[in-house]
Amino acid sequence: MGTPGEGLGRCSHALIRGVPESLASGEGAGAGLPALDLAKAQREHGVLGGKLRQRLGLQLLELPPEESLPLGPLLGDTAVIQGDTALITRPWSPARRPEVDGVRKALQDLGLRIVEMGDENATLDGTDVLFTGREFFVGLSKWTNHRGAEIVADTFRDFAVSTVPVSSPCHLRSFCGMGGPRTVVAGSSDAAQKAVRAMAVLTDHPYASLTLPDDAAADCLFLRPGLPGVPPFLLHRGGGDLPNSQEALQKLSDVTLVPVSCSELEKAGAGLSSLCLVLSTRPHS
């Protein structure tokens, strides 16, 4: 899901998926990934769910872990949501494509309009899509191609959709996010700064920008809670994970900072925005 800004309104629900035991072994999680401390990864995931529910006041829906889907907790890659529409993605990795099935059903049960990607030439990971509240930016990366970006544009016709080259083996939101309704935050790497410059050229909207020492610190979630009178939150990686970026994050004075950790889950390629889908809707009674 694109990070919500003014265009999304207030959030009411969050969707997460439990951490399976199969994620604990590097072999189960995928070639080249280190083995994880399963208990620590599950604790991190549990704290994230608790912050979404108790601190942010969202109704939390948790899909059960599936041993056949070791990367299933990275469900942010499985859908792009704006308003009452959910675009079900087509992940680059064929092994990950079954992950969308449980997410599709959960979003259907919440009453969202489901759009499928029927083109077998398209690839799209949800964490390559950044929604600013005014427009979409789609990262063209190892994971997401031009056809995938075209389908985002076809699905969300009320918004401008621009493509941004990603010059590292990462997703766009691995180093770029929204720190507020008008503030783009980005890491300090060459890839992050190139993406920010490209976005500035492509947009017609004036955004402030904030550079963070750590790329992963920019993988954050700006959320407007459903509770009236409550200021927006920024869910972000805390000082235990990324101490060098905490002072810079304090410059975001119009949001309430809510730190969480995902240092163990990060070993499996998880970024903060990949671990949940946040939406503004109400389930059927």
- Residue positions annotated with a catalytic role: 171, 276
Half-sphere exposure of 95 (CA within 13 A, CB side): 10
Q: Which of 66, 62, 38, 42 lies closest to 52 in space, CA to CA?
A: 62
Amino acid in the structure at residue 132: T
* Other beta carbons within 10 Å of 209: 15
CA atoms of 180 and 78, how far apart (whole Å): 24
**φ, ψ for residue 226 (rounded to 5)?**
-75, -10
Q: In Å, how far are 21, 147, 200, 278 from 119, measured between CA atoms? A: 33, 8, 30, 26
In angstroms, the CA 90 to CA 240 distance is 34
Tokens 């949940």 locate to 276
